[in-house]
Each structure stands twice: as C-alpha cells, then as structure tokens.
Homo-oligomer: A and B are copies of this chain.
Amino acid sequence: MVRQAVLVLALIIVAAKLGGELLGRLGQPPVLGELLMGVLLGNLGLFGITALEPLRDSAMLRVVAEIGAILLLFEVGVESDLLQLLAVGWSSLAVATLGVIAPMILGYVVSSQLLPEAGWLTHLFVGGTLTATSVGITARVLKDLGKANTKEARIILGAAVADDVIGLVVLAVVSGLVTAAMASGGGGAGSVGWGSILWIVVKAALFLTLAVVVGRFWSQRIFVHAAKLQVPGVLVGLCLCFCFVVSAISGFVGLAPIVGAFAAGVVLEEVHYQPFRERGERKVEELLFPITTLIVPVFFVMMGFRVDLKSFASPAVLGFAALITVVAVAGKQICGLGVLERGVDRLVIGVGMIPRGEVGLIFAGMGSTLVLAGKPILSPTTFSALVLMIMLTTFITPPLLKVVFERR
C-alpha cells in the first residue's frame, strides 16, 4: 500500500517539476506544465500504457489533491493583505465586477444553447468557471514583462484579487445550490426555490464576514498563547491547523472548503505571529513553501489527468471548447469600461484579465465531482472542454499582453 503511494507521489512530483520547467522555459507559467503533464499521464492509455489507470478512482489521491487546492487558496490568502484588499480602488472593483458578470452570462448562454439536455446548475457551473481571473498567472506575466508597476498593472492585479474573491463567493453560492438541490431529494435541478438561493447568499456572506472578523480576533489571541510553547514546529503546525479547521467549518456550513481556506489565509497576518518571528522563526510563507511546492502540484496534475483527450475527437466537444474560449476572452474585454481614471490603456486591462486559473479549475473540478440525480453536474466531456479553455486562455495571454503593451 505505502509502496504504491510513495511511488505515485514521486511520479507526480517529478512530472510536475519537469512540466513546470519545460513550460517556464517556453515563457509560459509553470502551472500550465503541471496541467499538461497531467493530461499526458492521464492519456497514456492511448499509447497502450494502462498502468496508471487505477489512479483515476483513487480516493486517497482525490483527498490529497483537494488538500492541495486548500493549501493553494490558503497561500493565496496569506499573500493577500486584508487592508490592501479593502483599499482596492473603485476601478479595480468595477473592473472585477464587470469581469465576473459578463463571462458568467455569456457562459450560461453558450452552455444552455450547446448543452440543451443539461440542467441550469450545469450552465451556472460553466459560467462560474469563466469568472475568476488567475491572480498568480497574471502577476507572473506582468512581472516577466517588467510592467508590474504600471497603472494598468495595479488595476489588473487589484481586479484579479477582487474577482478571485467574487469568484469564491459565486462558487460558495453555486455549490450551496447543488447541496440544497441534493438535499431536496436530488430530483432534478429545478427544485431549488428563491428562498434557498437567498439563504445560501446570506450564509456565504455571513461565513466570510464572521471568519474574517472572528478569525482575526481569535487568531491574534491563539498565536500569542501558542508562542509560549517551546516545542519545535508550533508556528507551521498552528497555521495549517487554523487553515484546516476554518476550511472544515466552511465545508460543514455547506460552502466549499477552499472558501474557508482563503478566508483563513486572509485573516492571518504577520503581526499575529510576531512573537514567533522575534525568536527567529521564519515567515509563514517560507515555512509553507516546502509543503505547498509538493502538494499543490498534485491538484493540477490530477486536474490534467482527468482530461480525456479522446473526447476531443468529437467535433461537438471541440466546438464547445472553442466557443467557450472565445466567450472567455470576449467576456473580459468589457472590463476596460470599468476603469474610472484617464490615461489608462483599456485594451491592456481587457487582455490582462484573460487568463483563468486556479479558481476556474476548482470550479470545474467541483462541478465534475458533484452528482445530482445520478449524473455529475459537469459531464467528463464538458470538464475536458473547460480545462482546455483554461489552458488556452493562459497560453495566449503572455504573447498577447506583450503585443498590446508594445503597441503603445
């Protein structure tokens, strides 16, 4: 048992690092390499190699991948500062809101036209996958272009953070709707009333507010007391436990665990663990790094693993993927209208918001595991098409952004 487990982990880590390196050298974000390596490993069956097929149904690997997503969102939360989030300019907020609403509507429409047999929850998941801009990928590209300090970059990054948060709230609402539909007998997606929708929105808002307010208050106190412990590893252990407990709570109230993980990360600030820093411990980001660098790629590799290349042999699926990609790009171009300042290149803003990433993948992954009336919300082919869209939007952004920046 343990032999297979460690070999699989070693294989995934090697694949992730090699894939990341390869794509990094091609000027692409490493996360794309992890996805591509996953696609490769998951489709070895095409070459007659079936040794990895059992991984497809491994409950253990699924849990590890989900913990990877939880740690990723926690890390993103730790790196984003609550005050900075609140101080994000009105432009960023407007850009973000437009950038969520437009792709959501467009995605819903495309999905309901091309997948008429699916329920409205499916269309909602397709739309939801299109909403969130990838902070990580955008930031990395802007930095690589040496444009991280332009006004455009600041607006894009602020908006990307904001629409990650909005995306998480959307995810909380949508997954709450599915849970509610499942609880009401699972008898089709139509059985969720406006009352329960409202209740989920209120619950999500309440949870996030409480997590941030109560979490901030408590985390400070807990850290002060924990700093009195002398046993090694208290800081990193405490941070992870904090993340795990808040995400479990968010799971128990019917929201996605990653929502709680992000909230936990946002709450945690360096002042809280100042006593640990004073006795020479490293920063939380540094302590988390060896853990996240190993577990987070499991999530991306396994997401790629689940892409079924054979499904792209169907023109219908390819057409859906192509159309949803066009919609993903077009939907974010409206963002430029949200900019209030003068002298800002609105095209740059629109292009900079194109890449979808972690949150989109989490959306798609969740949609493909939630089962309603015996069928997954997102069928395997729809899932594959959405992952392809996420990869394509990420692939085209770096060269496109370079072109529009240089055009001026």
Contact = CB atoms under 8 A, between A and B. Distances in A.
A327 B54 CA distance: 47
A13 B257 contact: no
Interface string A284-298: 000111110110000
A41 B241 CA distance: 18
B62 A230 contact: no
A241 B63 contact: no
A322 interface: no
Contacts of A231: 17, 20-21, 24, 30
Please tell me the size bucket of the interface on A. 35 or more
A248 B17 contact: no
A236 interface: yes
Contact of A3 (B3, B59, B62, B248): B248
A27 B248 CA distance: 35
A251 interface: yes
Contact of A236 (B14, B20, B233, B293): B293
A123 B233 CA distance: 38
A294 B232 CA distance: 10
A70 B230 CA distance: 25
B63 A2 contact: yes
A230 B21 contact: yes
A257 B6 CA distance: 10
A164 interface: no
Given A244-B7, A251-B2, A293 B232 contact: yes
Interface string A216-257: 000000000000011111101110110011011001100001
B240 A66 contact: no
B241 A14 contact: yes
A79 to B, nearest CB: 14
Interface string A1-30: 111111101100110111011001100001
A386 interface: no
A67 interface: yes
Interface of A: 1-7, 9-10, 13-14, 16-18, 20-21, 24-25, 30, 59-60, 62-63, 66-67, 70, 229-234, 236-238, 240-241, 244-245, 247-248, 251-252, 257, 287-291, 293-294
The 4 closest A-B pairs by CB, nearest first: A233-B293, A6-B244, A3-B251, A10-B244
